Copies of this chain bind each other. A is one copy, B any other.
Amino acid sequence: MSGRVTSAEVAARAGVSRSAVSRVFSGASASKATERKVRKAAADLGYRPNVLARSLITGRSRIIGLVVSYLDNQFYPDALERLSEALQAEGYHILVFTAPEAEEPDALVEQMLDYQVDGIIAASVTIGGDLAARCQAAGIPVVLFNRGQDASGLSQVTSANRTGGAEVARFLRAGGHGRIAQITGWLGASTGRDRAEGFRAAAGPLVAEADGMFDRDRAAELAAAMWRDARPDAIFVGNDHMAFGAIDALRSEGAAVGREVSVVGYDDVAAAAWGAYDLTTLRQPARRMAEATVETLLALVEDPDRGAARIEIEGPLVVRGSARVPEGWA
């Protein structure tokens, strides 16, 4: 009575074999006549194939594991949504594994393998080299989202962080800023490092620099301290999430953000456009990054021997009110 209806029941009602109904639903060839009979019977009974049972034999689960933490940074929920949409469009779905802050994500990857995921997307997370090798061995492709890991041989999709950092530097210099400072993203991550290096290379000497570790509170403290000690007239902050904290801190120190001190972020999350912050920032195109990630990953699912891809996606500088804009800036 209860429980799901099975392919055998459909077969019985349609007067054909289980193979026939299987072929109809898996897209293999079948005569018009049987196809009609099968579909009719299936509709009557409300039959839908059991994805899990199917996966057992095909070796494809149509499940993609996503490991993610740091969800309070709006960029990641946004990315999650885009990834999910792109995957759903291809008939895949996301199994979420949240990484408790400090813990190694390696244990999570083990769990993913238990679920026979077809692929893994690791967002803002580093994966141990042995684990990477293990996935490789198991034939399960991994794509790093918004983080690089050179030695790993894993595919990765990021924005053009070096270029972006440099672009911000050019913007600030063109604006006539002479006392430039930087609160970087976590330098232990490629994303933070690349932005910082690109910025440094094009900005010239800095009056202050510190590692904000992608942490909002830390960035706020650093910004306040910098303001008191070094009196920068511009601060590049490694992502928007920290930049909001920096702006709050600067304001409570009495600094006029956008006039006395320019603040530029990175990501262009939704809140950057909100009136209270009006943050000039370098956009990471979340949708295009998500699409590239999915495309790369699914290609790897098809052919695991295809080489690792490293994709960088460029984004524009979005000019708003938190930083002085140079005369005649395009």
Binding site for B on A (CB under 8 A): 2-4, 46, 48-53, 55-56, 61, 63, 66, 71-72, 74, 76-78, 80-81, 84-85, 88, 93-98, 100, 110-111, 113-116, 134, 137-139, 244-245, 247-249, 251-252, 270-271, 274-277
Contacts and interface: CB of A to CB of B under 8 A. Distances in A.
B49 A114 contact: yes
A48 B3 contact: no
Contacts of A80: 71, 77, 96
Given A76-B77, A248-B276, 14 more contacts: A4-B113, A52-B56, A52-B61, A71-B80, A71-B81, A72-B77, A72-B78, A85-B98, A93-B96, A93-B97, A93-B111, A247-B276, A248-B274, A249-B275
Contacts of A74: 72, 74, 77
B116 A52 contact: yes
Contact of A88 (B4, B76, B97): B97
How many copies of this chain are found per oligomer? 2
Contact of A51 (B51, B116, B249): B116
Nearest to A97: B93
26 contacts: A2-B138, A2-B139, A3-B138, A3-B139, A4-B113, A46-B134, A48-B114, A52-B52, A52-B56, A52-B116, A63-B95, A72-B74, A72-B78, A74-B77, A77-B80, A88-B97, A88-B98, A93-B97, A94-B95, A95-B95, A244-B271, A244-B274, A245-B274, A247-B276, A248-B276, A251-B276
Given A72-B77, A270-B72, A84 B61 contact: no
Contacts of A71: 77-78, 80-81
Nearest to A73: B77
B48 A113 contact: yes
A277 B247 CA distance: 12
Contacts of A56: 50, 52-53, 56
Nearest to A251: B275
A34 B83 CA distance: 45
Contacts of A94: 95-96
Contacts of A115: 51-52, 63, 93
A20 to B, nearest CB: 20
